[in-house]
Structure 1
Amino acid sequence: MKDFKIDQIRNVGVVSHGGVGKTSLVEAMLYDAKVTTRLGSVDDGTSLSDYTDDEMERKISIGACLLHLEWKNHKINLVDMPGYQDFIGEVVGGLRVTETALILLSAQSGVEVGTEQVWNIAENHKLARMFFINRMEKEHASFEDVVKQARDSFGQKVVPIQIPIGEGPDFKGVIDLVKMKALYFDKDGESKEEKIPAELETKAKKHQEKLIEAVAETDDALLEKYFDKG
């Protein structure tokens, strides 16, 4: 196995309310990083995270599971943790060994009780936090509603760095607000970068302005790094 320096290692806890899709996201990340040659499935009992008999039978995560991948010359340790409140102790213990919490939100149901629980645990551990809005391709998905819920619940510093192109059955890709480019993905996870669709340019610029303001309020050097140097 390749050796990594300390500054090349990231420890990320993947958490959420129950049933939002944490394990499926981790499987997609491992597949995209070429750790696996097929996309594991919770429903099929083929995911790397949910490997015990109980987890495969119940189709839920019961214990925290450590996995890792290599990405852009960094080692990313992923701790996939249960979402159901019966196993909240696994989240408390798991987040103690990470420096970042990746919190999943459903594009259909938004902020839930479990979301607030994991946020508070991460807050107590003084962890960096980021949100991933999952299930954008599902019926009744609403990106803007979920972002508003997150801002109302966790503060106005919650700002998107990507916005979707379409929602529900019309979901096609995302707009990167740092690069200001549209990204489209194929079934193998390969991305294609294009110009932002004309009808979304104004919306993208408004979201980028909010992102710039949020960054500027925290660190001028970080603002320069992201937007002047790319």
Structure 2
Amino acid sequence: MTERGKGRLFVVSTPIGNLKDFTFRGVETLGEVDCIAAEDTRRTRILLSHYNLKTPLSSYNSYNKIPKGREFVRRMENGENIALVSDAGTPGVSDPLYHLVKAALEEGIEVESIPGASALLSGLVVSGLPTDRFLFEGFLPRKKGRSTRLTWLATQPCTVVFFESPHRIGKTLADILGVFGNREAAIAREMTKLHEEINRGTLEELIETHAERKWKGEITLIVAGANSKKGE
């Protein structure tokens, strides 16, 4: 239980592209807290401006997480309510923001989730691949441990979801094909945005079709699990 007099930490999911995807509760929360801890204050300021919110912003990211984490915990211990937001989507998914959640819990501060948009789930549910069981890998290691990680992932009987940058997606597709074999897959790009695009097919088909393409935007890659067959 939260100790009497302490504030709370609200983990607020924000839109991943379309600003209309923000929930009523999310808007209300950002408007009522004392401060918003934002991974990128510039991007969050655009969201606040769209909803005419004036709540003060303060930077919280991988570079300042230790000193700013102490500051936010101290403020919540003194009764302030803080909202935690990432660049887009749900805080703590493939970003360092979970450190503030952990620090708050260690000091007996209540943490509340304000759910909303997620690039992970948005891509998965339209991929056409099984959604009853899935493994979220996030970004693969760039070098050390990459091959070992892929070898283990290849044995998993569930759908595997990756995040990848546009300038590395070609190499990642080739690496996965080399270890997983030619499985069904989908590339979800720029979800909820103007140029949203879903490309489906086998890994070989995706590589061949987009061999010369210069990818842009945010990408979620979904790959069928081990022993899966087309249509299952």
TM-score, normalisation: structure 1: 0.30
Higher relative contact order (CA 8 A, sep 6+): 2
